[in-house]
Amino acid sequence: MKLLAIQALSAIDYVLFAAVLLISLGIGVFFAILARKVKNAEELLNAAQSAGLFPVSMSLLASFLSAITLLGTPPMVYETGTMYAWILLSIPIVICAANYIYIPVFYNCGVSSPYEYLGERFKCRIMQLLGALVFSFQMVVYMGIVLYVPCLAIGTVTGITVWGTGGLKAVLWTDAFQVGIMAASVLMPVIKGSIDHGGFTNIWNISSEGGRIIFNDGFGLVLALLLSCLSGLVLFAEYGECNPTRIKGMVTASDQILPYYVATKFSIAPGSVGIFIAGIVSASLSTVSSGCNSLVAVAFRDIMDPFFPPLKAQKKMILSKFMGFGFGGLTILFAYLSSFMGAAVQAALGLFGILAGPLLGIFTLGMLFPFANKYA
């Protein structure tokens, strides 16, 4: 199979990509101007608890759908099959557990952060500190991976080397805008692939013949598939066993396969590649912006407040902004280190398994076993 060469981005692609970045920046600047009236760090980090339902819900969605999901899942399905889609069954279980077990406990205890609960439950501030530190390390490393992934996409479609040189309300409304861009970037390859290969029925048949439809016949029916999984089947229908990563001079990492497909297939439609890249970058920015905000909040509530003398409101607000810059710098550092970790999905799942799993176990132990204490 002959692989196509990547065409240079058009002026429209660059304009659309720049427009998305400028709009995101503009939202941040707008709320930064409004935030001049904010008198303390709590209002800055909590949006004065006045944010509406729409931006909050969209921000949660945007934070969950990171660039790892959009770029990492399709090549995993392409290379290994749809077995990965079984992870979808865990989502309703997790949502129900969070809504009916964990969040009610935090709310009824009146704690300002989950890690404060650990300190109160086990009568040990060290537990609160360790929980906050584990979360902070996990989040910084995860944001580094999330930041690195769109660099691969940009490098693939532009030829540029990967390492070439407002508060919560701004985060919420920026995320709400970015959700729409992300949706477009996910739908584009699925729609284009369906058109090229005569509909999704043919894509499913090609993938089935190639051994990529794998569910072990657990239920006989597939309840739901992420669009990213569908993109993976599109990739298999397009390339089959001719993996672009195995051809010298094409792509070097599996996370670059989807950007390569978009860059070669959508070059005839000016602006479409720009929208795709903007969606990937939006997915990354939404996760990183929300993550930095949460890291600053955890640093204040679970590390500084319990162990250090209280600061004046004005000093605390200034310090929160500098801490945001600091966490951003650490994210860039871990983004560089992420280039040595391999595929993004495996790296992210491994990270959560190592750090988030034990942390979840501690919370579950405290909530479901009344006799548990700091010693056992």
Which residue in 214, 223, 284, 227 sits closest to 90, CA to CA? 223
Domain ranges (residues) in the chain: 11-364
Residue 123: the pLDDT is 85
Residue 173: the pLDDT is 45
pLDDT tens-digit profile of 36-51?
A: 555 555 555 554 455 5
pTM above 0.75, yes or no: no
Residue 372: the pLDDT is 82
Residue 222: the pLDDT is 37
Residue 161: the pLDDT is 56
Residue 262: the pLDDT is 80
Residue 319: the pLDDT is 82
Residue 217: the pLDDT is 40
Task: For the chain, list residues with pLDDT below 70.
Answer: 1-9, 28-66, 157-195, 197-201, 203-226, 247-250, 342, 376
Gap between the Cα atoms of 231 and 187, Å rounded: 8
C-alpha separations of 296 from 57, 188, 306, 326, 374 in Å: 21, 36, 15, 10, 27
Residue 57: the pLDDT is 62
Residue 175: the pLDDT is 47
Residue 170: the pLDDT is 44
Q: Give the CATH number of domain 11-364; options: 3.40.50.1820, 1.10.10.1100, 3.30.70.250, 1.20.1730.10.
A: 1.20.1730.10
Gap between the Cα atoms of 179 and 147, Å rounded: 17
Residue 45: the pLDDT is 52
Half-sphere exposure of 373 (CA within 13 A, CB side): 3
Residue 157: the pLDDT is 67
Residue 329: the pLDDT is 83
Residue 353: the pLDDT is 82
